[in-house]
Copies of this chain bind each other. A is one copy, B any other.
Amino acid sequence: MIRKRKDKEQVLLSNTTKIKVRFSEVDSMRIVWHGNYVKFFEDGREAFGMRYPGLGYMDIYAGGYTAPIVDMQLQYLKPLTIGQEAVVQTDYIATDAAKICFRYQIMNLDGELVARGSTMQVFVDLNGDLSLNNPPFYEQWKKKWLNR
């Protein structure tokens, strides 16, 4: 399901994908170890990139850049346990700065929010220098998917 929303501050592109908790992802309290949600966010980002092509790791690299994460925030509301399935909703947050911003919500199959968070990525060129402007490939991606 592709959705475009307009609200006061931002245009959103959104995608959802399913995950399933692996045995190796739970800790000795039998709940998913908090660090593993970073992978769930990555799964969400990856699935988002499949739906809105042009923003994947290889696209960015082919465009002459890398896009390291410079900020990540996570809130944990309910535990996930072995074998449990969940849905990762990944929202693209538009910004005029030379950044890629995502918000994430992870819901269990009862529709309860179990975790949420955000990531911010910047653009670094192949000399290792931070880009203060949007790289051309990103401008094209925005034009295509956001009409701006």
Contacts and interface: CB of A to CB of B under 8 A. Distances in A.
Contacts of A66: 29
Contact of A83 (B27, B58, B72, B74): B58
A26 B57 CA distance: 12
A72 B69 contact: no
Residue among A28, A69, A70 facing the most chain B CB atoms (10 A cut-off): A28
Interface residues on A, range: 20 to 34
**Interface of A (DSSP majority class):** mixed
Interface of A: 22-24, 26-31, 33-35, 38-39, 42-43, 46, 56-58, 66, 68-77, 79, 82-83
30 contacts: A22-B39, A22-B46, A23-B27, A23-B42, A23-B46, A23-B57, A24-B27, A24-B33, A24-B35, A24-B39, A26-B27, A28-B28, A28-B30, A28-B57, A29-B66, A31-B68, A34-B68, A35-B35, A35-B38, A56-B83, A57-B82, A57-B83, A58-B83, A68-B76, A69-B76, A70-B76, A70-B77, A71-B76, A72-B76, A73-B74
